[in-house]
Structure 1
Amino acid sequence: MSSSCDNFLDVNDDPNAATEAPGDPLFTEAITVLQSNRNIELGPAVSFFAQTWASNSSAGVFTEPDRYIVGSSDFTVTNNFGAIYTNVLNNLELFVKDAQEAEQVRGNAIAQARLVQAYTYYYLTVLFGDVPFNEALKEDIANPAFDDQQDILDGIVDRIDEAISRIDPDSELAPIENGDLIYGGDMNQWLQFANSLKLRVLMLQYNTDPSIASEIQPLIDNPNLIRSNINNAEFPYSSDEQRENQVYQLHADFAGGDPLFLYASDTILDLMSENDDPRISTYFQTNNDEDTFVGVQNGANFTSGVSLVGADIIRPEFPGRILTASETLLHEAEFLAKEGQVIEARSKLEAGIRASISYFDGLEGEIAQEDEDNFVSSILSDYDLGNQSEKVTIIQEQHWVDVFEKVPENWTLWRRTKVPELEVPVQAQLGTIIRRLPLSSEEIASNPNVPDPLPTRDQPMSFEE
């Protein structure tokens, strides 16, 4: 009897379960986890750091990050470190391995995964600084070394270039299509994303290394950049149950759908009010008592009278905007202005502002064409009157207003440019603007290669001047 038990009693094998998983769902899982963490675990806190949003003391869950009370064990930190490596980067690596071992190597699919990996490493390093990169995801390395941030940025550019070399829109081998929630397998759009992401990374490096200009100028001359809103990289949400934007879900669960927890920082509201920016009524609600827009200093206590983030933004269908035409155009404008090409920069500035405003055409929060034209004319008049430094500042201000909910770009942009001037929040734990998240307590406890001493929250990033 015992001789017949080997197969009969193999109770650990489920005959109804698949023994292999197709690779494409790994890609879908990775970008879904990344966007979820980016949107709800990180979004409000980073928007407080950038002072585009503010908290309210009545919503304690948001008060702490508004005052820089962010610990190594907080979900904002742990979910955006360990979970990003495990559920995003590792899943993408498994996908690439699956694609490379296929009978026919799917170059486009590998490129898609590598580009999301490149973006994810960018995401990690602008949050934490030095992180595991070269030794990360290696099966034989349990405790990967932490790489210098500048080396990581160089490595990200190399990975983008490697992905670009694989893109072939005419290939007969299918890219990721149904599982690609961003572009649905359109490799021409992925190529534009790749070049635009490369521009974003190079602009960080250009901030402290002007020689990078020789790498940026060819990108400016490249037609394959995201310069139209139809090519924006966005994660889709809908009004279907469990498919809503998570920031909206938060308000639906605890405030009946009304945006009651997130408010206007007086930093952004003052700048927008001063410029008669028509986006103000799309971004924020008026004060119910006086029908005016009222901001609050970050970290301050208040009971009423402050403008909420608008329902045109906190709605179930509002997408997760990862990389947009307005950002690309305003990056181009800033670079050209710094290089003395102020006429060309002016054209990019106008295109960037119009892309930012026209994004809402046909959507909730649509801005009238006359208001758009008047605003653009006013900003360009200020630009024409300014010297080169003032022109750059005007571009950077418009860029900061554009990325007001796009994390982590709103915070990263300020750390790179220091525009506009920010005040330290009321009751903040630091005496200066927060520069980075602390490393995860789980990583500190498990990896002996974490930096020693540990970086502090007020330690500037390598790309800061």
Structure 2
Amino acid sequence: MKKKWIYAALLGAALTFGTSSCDKFLDINTDPNAATTVDPSFLITPIQVRMSSNRTIETGPVFQFYAQQWASGGSAGVFFDPERYNIGVFGPRNTWNTYYNSCLNNVALMELQAREAGNPNVEAQAKIMKAILFYDITCIFGEAPYSEALNVEIQGPKFDSQEEVLRGVVTLCEEAVALADPSNPIPGAFSGDLFYGPSGWSPSSAPAQQMERWIKAANSLKFKALMLLHNGGANVSAEIAAVFNQPMIETLGEDLAVPYAEEVNNANPVWKLLNLYSGGENVWFEACDPLMDLMKESNDPRLATYFDQDGNGAFTSRQSGTNTGSVSPLSLNILRRAFPDRIITASEIALLRAEAMVLGLAPGGQAGAQEEMRRGISLSLDFFDGKPGQIGAAAKQTYINQFNIANQSQAGALRTLHVQQYIDLASLRGLEAWTQWRRTKVPDLTVPAGALLGDIIRRFPYADEEISSNPNNIGQPALDLPMWFEGN
């Protein structure tokens, strides 16, 4: 059954390119037997596949380096350049083009055709996909075209501020929730949906359940965007309090993720890299000091799930940018064929909800935050149940019981939470991990050895093609210039 989504991606791409290439040149020879619209199930699949491919292999390990959770010292220098902030043109170019030229163009077509067909559920899905894409874009690049980005009449769209893009994400989520209707007899794009369709990571039994989960995903993304807005200094306290009471992702079965499979063709792209160039063994990705130090400090049972022992039978790590000594490699529990691309998870949202409580942005206080934090940690540990790296029940409980933030100072409680968020996001969630560090500055990081910057990297450079072709570009900001959402 997993083979179907690759077939759908290829078919959707062919249909999309076919419909866009004929508009200007072949109108006089319209084939009455040719399809003029694309089934939304075929459109949504390539959007999700292409976005996920970029998130996992194009940027995932690199951003994990930036967050100093992974190190590349064992790679014989293969990944030293990105770890030390020496960035070539292809990564930014591929990322920019994937998000704008491929994914967002298909989303715009999906949204337009859904609106014209009177299908509000598909239109809602398109808006949520658009919100996810723009959220990623601004977290990667900072200021970016948003308000004019999909206007075909504008050749050089302006760059909107990060605050404007994040507020746009919030608005898109609100519009989508207003449109989505699980009781509507006209379903959303169901069969091709890799999030919540029958072959998705969190498969739904029916279109109604699928749309309920999309609504939870929209509210969860809105919450994440609002917390970034608050961190940047925007007055969104009332909006956070309001969305806090709306249905969000709460269980592992509701995680927003793209699945990968055991079969080679549909395997996780990072595993494919290992399979092609190192015989399936991980010789490139290792433990970095900040993450391992925190995990050892609290006897975190995920240590043996995330990493293997070094050549001497110990768990060790290295400073970012260095390459001496025997160090623990990242485990194939993480770098495995069927490891999913997790975009929004129940553990992430639970820990963020606890943070909102500690900050007084939501009811519950620190006592409520402690329970929500423990639930988030439990979800993070439970993710590996029935999978490689499973953690025993007793080890889980012992670990969770040690955390008591109810009577801590606000600063102490926040640090405890931020450490747990950082550890939770260390398993192939590079963009989220890097964003988390930039948002909180926890833990303390040092500039990698041999780095080309004087501070921790804060942003990806814009695609060279965008700078050369768009007269409204804003140039290339310094890569260590903090993002607006950092609140500096």
Does residue 1:100 correspond to 2:100, yes or no?
no
Does residue 1:400 correspond to 2:400, yes or no?
no
Work out the number of aligned pairs and report it. 446
For 1:218 and 1:17, the matched residues in 2 are separated by 47
**Native 8 Å contact 1:57 1:300 kept in 2:** no
Does residue 1:37 correspond to 2:54, yes or no?
yes
* 1:407 shift after superposition: 2.8
Deviations 1:47-97 (A, max 9, x none): 0001111112644341111001114x1x22111112210110011101111
Greater alpha carbon shift after TM alignment, 321-330 vs 15-24: 15-24
* 1:13 shift after superposition: 8.4
Opposite residue 478 of structure 2, the aligned amino acid is: T
* 1:288 shift after superposition: 2.5
Deviations 1:370-415 (A, max 9, x none): 00111111123xx355311101110011011001121311000100
Does residue 1:152 correspond to 2:165, yes or no?
yes
For 1:247 and 1:13, the matched residues in 2 are separated by 43
Could you state the TM-score of these two structures normalised by the residue count of structure 2?
0.88
Superposition map of 1:134-149 within 5 A: 134-149=147-162
Picking from 300, 304, 311, the partner of 2:322 is 300
Does residue 1:78 correspond to 2:93, yes or no?
yes
Opposite residue 87 of structure 1, the aligned amino acid is: S
**Native 8 Å contact 2:62 2:430 kept in 1:** no
- Unaligned 5+ segments in structure 1 are 1-9
- Correspondence for 1:7: none
- Correspondence for 2:12: none
Opposite residue 473 of structure 2, the aligned amino acid is: V
- Correspondence for 2:77: 60
For 1:197 and 1:438, the matched residues in 2 are separated by 25
Superposition map of 1:352-391 within 5 A: 352-380=376-404, 383-384=405-406, 386-391=408-413
- Correspondence for 1:455: 477
Look up the SS of the partner of 2:264 in the other structure: coil
Picking from 299, 318, 324, the partner of 2:339 is 318
Does residue 1:89 correspond to 2:104, yes or no?
yes
- Correspondence for 1:418: 441
For 2:121 and 2:478, the matched residues in 1 are separated by 40
**Native 8 Å contact 1:330 1:349 kept in 2:** yes
Q: Spell out structure 1 runs of 4+ moving beyond 4 A.
A: 12-20
For 2:41 and 2:154, the matched residues in 1 are separated by 26
**Native 8 Å contact 2:156 2:472 kept in 1:** yes
- Correspondence for 1:47: 64
Opposite residue 306 of structure 2, the aligned amino acid is: Y
For 1:257 and 1:379, the matched residues in 2 are separated by 38
* 1:278 shift after superposition: 0.3
Look up the SS of the partner of 1:379 in the other structure: coil
* 1:23 shift after superposition: 3.5
- Unaligned 5+ segments in structure 2 are 1-26, 198-206
For 1:21 and 1:373, the matched residues in 2 are separated by 50
- Correspondence for 2:228: 204
- Correspondence for 1:4: none
For 2:245 and 2:368, the matched residues in 1 are separated by 12
* 1:254 shift after superposition: 0.8
**Native 8 Å contact 1:245 1:315 kept in 2:** yes
Picking from 242, 251, 257, the partner of 2:265 is 242
**Native 8 Å contact 1:78 1:442 kept in 2:** yes
Opposite residue 68 of structure 2, the aligned amino acid is: Q
- C-alpha change, 1:168 and 1:268, in structure 2 (3 Å) is same
**Native 8 Å contact 2:306 2:330 kept in 1:** yes
Opposite residue 84 of structure 1, the aligned amino acid is: Y
Q: Please report the RMSD computed on the Cα atoms of aligned residues, expressed in angstroms.
A: 1.9
For 2:480 and 2:173, the matched residues in 1 are separated by 30
- C-alpha change, 1:358 and 1:57, in structure 2 (3 Å) is closer
- Correspondence for 1:192: 216
Look up the SS of the partner of 1:268 in the other structure: helix
- Correspondence for 1:3: none
For 2:234 and 2:112, the matched residues in 1 are separated by 37
Opposite residue 355 of structure 2, the aligned amino acid is: E
For 2:145 and 2:72, the matched residues in 1 are separated by 32
For 1:275 and 1:462, the matched residues in 2 are separated by 32
* 1:147 shift after superposition: 0.5
Picking from 235, 239, 243, the partner of 1:215 is 239
Could you state the TM-score of these two structures normalised by the residue count of structure 1?
0.92
* 1:266 shift after superposition: 1.0
For 2:275 and 2:432, the matched residues in 1 are separated by 26
Deviations 1:27-64 (A, max 9, x none): 11111100000110000100000111111264434111
For 1:101 and 1:35, the matched residues in 2 are separated by 28
- Correspondence for 2:374: 350
* 1:210 shift after superposition: 6.5
- C-alpha change, 1:220 and 1:20, in structure 2 (3 Å) is closer
- Correspondence for 2:8: none
For 1:330 and 1:98, the matched residues in 2 are separated by 38
- Correspondence for 1:127: 140
For 1:408 and 1:58, the matched residues in 2 are separated by 21
* 1:226 shift after superposition: 0.7
Look up the SS of the partner of 2:402 in the other structure: helix
Opposite residue 480 of structure 2, the aligned amino acid is: D
For 2:242 and 2:77, the matched residues in 1 are separated by 48
Opposite residue 365 of structure 2, the aligned amino acid is: Q
How much identity, in percent, do the aligned residues show? 38
- Correspondence for 1:464: 486
